[in-house]
Amino acid sequence: MRFTKDHEWVAVEGDIATVGITAYAAEQLGDVVFVEVPDLGKTVKQGDGLAVVESVKAASDVYAPVSGEVVEANTALGDAPETVNAVPETGGWFARIKLSVPAEVEALMDRDAYEAFLSTL
């Protein structure tokens, strides 16, 4: 699993990257009440808005940590946004992206680097 400074995580299997927000981000956000997942087929570049996650008092853009095409979205979050709080780094994933620039993944932080980054906040 790789991480961004904007608190997204990426897990890659083959050329498919699963994307979500980190446990830290979910904690900071508070109770998630709504998630807007991307449409299938949407192409995103690294850093583009991918999804929107809302708590009662905040709406936050989730940025695409990698470039590619959205091949699957976690529509189950529509009825159960609390999943993002409960299991942010597993069942609370937002979308699966077919990588167009696989090298982007390697440049992201690994868990140790991300933990170290969190300790500076």
Partner 1 sequence: MRYLPLTPEDRTEMLGVIGVDSIDALFVDVPASAQRSGTVDLPLHAGELEVEREMAALARRNRAAGDGPFFCGAGAYRHHVPATVDHIIQRSEFLTSYTPYQPEIAQGTLQVLFEFQTQVAALTGMEVANASLYDGSTAAAEAVMMATRVTRRNKAVMSGGLHPHYVETVETLAHAAGVGTQRLAVAIDAEDAVIAAIDADTACVVVQTPNVFGTATDVTKIAAAAQAAGALLIVVTTEVVSLGLLKSPGEMGADIVVAEGQSIGNGLNFGGPYVGLFACKEKYIRQAPGRLCGETVDADGRRGFVLTLSTREQHIRRDKATSNICTNSGLCALAFSIHMSLLGEVGLRQLAAINHAKARALRDALAAVAGVEILTPRFFNEFAIRVPGNAAGIVETLAAHGVIAGVPFSRLDAKAGLDDVLLVAATETTLDIDITVFSKVLAKVIAQ
Partner 2 sequence: MSMNSVGRPTRPQTANDGARGPETLTGARGLLQDEALIFERDGWHKTGVDLPEASAPADDLGSLLRTAPIGLPGLSEPEAVRHYVRLSQKNHAIDLALYPLGSCTMKHNPRLNEKVARLPGFADIHPLQPQSTVQGALQLMDRLAHWLKTLTGMPAVALTPKAGAHGEMCGMLTIRAAHEANGQGHRKTVLAPTSAHGTNPATAAFVGYTVVEIAQTLDGRVDLADLESKLGDHVAAIMVTNPNTCGLFERDVVEIARLTHAAGAYFYCDGANFNAIVGRVRPGDLGVDAMHINLHKTFSTPHGGGGPGAGPVVLSEALAAFAPTPWLVHGDDGFALIEHAGEQSAETAFGRMSAFHGQMGMYVRAYAYMLSHGADGLRQVAEDAVLNANYLKARLSDVMSPAFPDGPCMHEALFDDSWLEGTGVTTLDFAKAMIDEGFHPMTMYFPLVVHGAMLIEPTETESKQELDRFVVALRALAAAAKAGDVERFKGAPFHAPMRRLDETLAARKPRLRWKPVAEAPLAAE
Query: Rule CB under 8 A: which residues touch partner 2?
Result: 6-8, 21, 25, 28-31, 33-34, 53-63, 81-82
59 interacts with partner 1 by CB under 8 A: yes
From start to end of 1-121, where are the E strands? 2-3, 8-13, 16-21, 32-36, 43-44, 49-55, 59-63, 68-73, 95-99
d(CA 116, CA 36): 30
Q: In the set 27, 30, 48, 58, which binds partner 1 (CB under 8 A)?
A: 58
Of 15 and 86, nearer to partner 2 (C-beta) is: 86
Ramachandran angles phi, psi of 25, nearest 5°: -65, -45
Instruction: Rank residues 15 and 31 by Cβ distance to partner 2 and give the closer one.
Output: 31
5, 118 contact by CB (below 8 A): no
Cβ distance to partner 2 smaller for residue 103 or 121: 121
Provide the 3-class DSSP secondary structure of residue 20. Answer: strand
Q: Which does 72 bind (CB under 5 to 8 A by kind): partner 1, partner 2, none?
A: none
Binds 28, which of partner 1, partner 2, none (CB < 5 to 8 A, cut-off by type)? Answer: partner 2
Residues that bind partner 1 (CB under 8 A): 34, 54-59
